[in-house]
Amino acid sequence: MAHETKTWRCGKYELKFDRPRIMGVLNVTPDSFSDGDEGNLDVDAAVARGVAMLDAGADIIDVGGESTRPGFTPVTPDEEAKRVLPVIRALAQRGAIVSVDTRHVEVAKAAVRVGASIINDVTGFTDPKMVEFVKSGKCGVVIAHAGELAEPAARAHKEVQLDTSAAAFVAEKARAAAAAAAAEAAAAAAPKKRSRAAGAMRLVGGLVQPQLPFADIPNGSAAAAEKEAAKEQDAASTEASAAPEAAPAPAPEAAQNDQLAALMARAARHEEAYVSTSQLRRFTLPDSAPIMRRVMGFLSDQARALVHAGVARERICIDPGAGFGKGTNEDIIIQRETAKMASLGYPLMCAVSRKRFVGAVSGVTEAADRDAATFGVCLGAIQNGANVVRVHDVAGFAQFLNGYWAVARPQPRRAFVALGSNLGRRMDNIRAAKDLIAEIPLTCVSNCSRIYESEPAYEERQEPFANAVIEIRTELAPLVLLDELMKIEDALGRNRTKSARPNGPRTLDCDLLWMDGEVHGGDKLRLPHPKLGERDFVLIPLEDLMHDPARFFRYEGVDVKEPEDRVGHVTGELGVL
């Protein structure tokens, strides 16, 4: 149920989690831990990689301009912005949901202006300026836990130097010692011989005072006791007054200029943030409670702080920050406790791709070779409630997820497919397409519009079109369904060679218009269809399948034009499908 009820509002987009969402990692840096390359700084190449991820199945592209690998070198906000802004702008123009991976408020502001819909802050919005910015916007936010960086500084305790040379202090303690010794002497019927080696330590007036054994006190009298105590106090006073003045405590080292860089430098030396593993343990892993209190406490506190500042709860996603200030044991514990983090009620991200702990448990040394092990860790997280999976190998993970989801989570979803033809036997082509769609695996045709005739759109020098829309139920991922629709176009003679005119005559056109819960960008597929709201030959057939399609799709974020402003106007009805 947690998968189905959570939503994540990111600017103009709303992500639903009836299936896990894939976030593709797009590093525009020369020194990333698993794919660092000077070629990453080429804007056109970076955009091409981002589009390829979208066409392979990514729902979100996470663009980062600063490596946060262990031992990384910080970059200035200006340099980071120079790297990421052109890439973000180009991907957003292609309909992609773009996330900017940054901890600098200046970069976040610029990224949102050019089209970013999500701010992924590895420092967990601990910067008040970042909080001030996001509270006034509509972008989605990712709160990440960055180990010790995210924890409040330990409270400093003042050291108090006692003034043992004060005369009043000495006199008071001498009187107290004498009174105590007199009381003991009076109570004792006979002196009890005690060994000199067993000299007692007595708590007097809140301080520990050395006491002489009774055998060393002549006759055990009160006067003798008082005299001995006075001697002890005089000696202490003389020693204290002769001692040089205590040196002041050394000042703490200057704070690091970049806390995150310092944290990851410690991670590079394999220092663990929470529990030392050098000591012998009875169990394979440390106790999970202290670790999860810190991680979940920070995530929930930061989320609550953002809500109180004015950020809508539906805009917040949380990330336990695998690899940031944590050792392998801590990261494994956190992944095993995914269900507890999911119970906080926010969309939960699993960002473990190619991390050190994945290599540790799989025995794979090279980061770029850890994708298969990454998929295994991600599968465990998905089964326990993770909603967003951040990976480098989008194509591989999309195949992995589609295979798993088809078997593990039967979930038919509604979609609309537009059919059009103006070559050959138009109505027969459309009916044949409907029958072939019904043969697609995990897919059925649930309803059909009538067949309408319409004017040509975009290129008028051609014959009128026959058009219809069918409603289907499918369990396939959108890109997989699109591939099946393209196969049907080819089977019915669609010309895809360079000689074919764009928007020209065709035996069949299959357009995936909309799918329940899906938002997608890229060159291969856009959902909802970017021209859905301007096509009369689509909106009129949709009226046979739903009440007021214009209102429905406007609610879905589609710009639906008025009838007089549309293209491809319907001119008549041709028959039933």
pLDDT digits over 79-88, tens only?
999 999 999 9
pLDDT at 436 over 70: yes
**Does 456 reside within a domain?**
yes
Helix/strand/coil for 473: strand
Rounded Cα–Cα distance for residues 306 and 131 (Å): 7
**Does 178 reside within a domain?**
no
Is residue 400 domain-shared with residue 322, that is, in the same domain? yes
The percent of residues above 70 in pLDDT, for the chain, comes to: 74
Task: Calculate the CA dihedral of residues 468, 469, 474, 480 and round it to 10 degrees.
Answer: 70
Is residue 447 domain-shared with residue 559, that is, in the same domain? yes
pTM confidence score: 0.77
Is residue 291 domain-shared with residue 428, that is, in the same domain? no
Is residue 370 domain-shared with residue 445, that is, in the same domain? no
Is residue 362 domain-shared with residue 419, that is, in the same domain? no
Is residue 321 domain-shared with residue 431, that is, in the same domain? no
Cβ distance 38 to 428 under 8 Å? Answer: no
Least confident of 157-161, 322-326, 347-351, 544-548: 157-161
Rounded Cα–Cα distance for residues 549 and 458 (Å): 22
Is residue 362 domain-shared with residue 479, that is, in the same domain? no
pLDDT at 158 over 60: no
- The pLDDT of residue 497 is 86
Least confident of 193-202, 311-320, 464-473, 513-522: 193-202
Class of residue 68 by CB neighbours under 10 A (exposed 0-12, middle 13-18, buried 19+): buried
**Does 168 reside within a domain?**
no
**Does 273 reside within a domain?**
yes
Q: What number is the average pLDDT over the span 282-302?
A: 91
- Which residues have a Cβ under 8 Å from the Cβ of 547 and sit 6 or more positions away? none
Rounded Cα–Cα distance for residues 164 and 241 (Å): 8
Least confident of 252-256, 460-464, 561-565: 252-256
H or E, element range at 334: helix 328-336
Is residue 397 domain-shared with residue 295, that is, in the same domain? yes
Is residue 404 domain-shared with residue 440, that is, in the same domain? no
Rounded Cα–Cα distance for residues 97 and 95 (Å): 7
Is residue 352 domain-shared with residue 430, that is, in the same domain? no
pLDDT at 253 over 50: no
CATH of the domain at 112: 3.20.20.20
Catalogue the E-assigned strands of 65-186.
Answer: 97-101, 118-121, 140-144
Helix/strand/coil for 454: strand
Is residue 454 domain-shared with residue 540, that is, in the same domain? yes
Domain-terminating residue out of 383, 408, 433: 408
Is residue 427 domain-shared with residue 369, that is, in the same domain? no
Give residue 324's pLDDT band: very low, low, confident or very high (50, 70, 90). confident
**Does 215 reside within a domain?**
no
**Does 227 reside within a domain?**
no
Give residue 269's pLDDT band: very low, low, confident or very high (50, 70, 90). low
- The pLDDT of residue 114 is 97
Rounded Cα–Cα distance for residues 364 and 374 (Å): 11
User: Looking at the 3D structure of the chain, how many domains does it have?
Assistant: 2
pLDDT at 504 over 50: yes
Helix/strand/coil for 9: strand
**Does 517 reside within a domain?**
yes
Rounded Cα–Cα distance for residues 119 and 134 (Å): 9
pLDDT at 501 over 60: yes
Measured in whole angstroms, the distance separating CA 141 from the mean position of its chain's CA atoms is 9
Domain-terminating residue out of 387, 408, 429: 408
For the chain, counts of helices (H) and of strands (E): 18, 18
Cβ distance 435 to 530 under 8 Å? Answer: no
CATH of the domain at 524: 3.30.70.560
What is the span of the domain harbouring residue 110?
2-11+20-151+260-408
Cβ distance 527 to 553 under 8 Å? Answer: no
Measured in whole angstroms, the distance separating CA 197 from the mean position of its chain's CA atoms is 65
Domain-terminating residue out of 388, 408, 428: 408
**Does 267 reside within a domain?**
yes
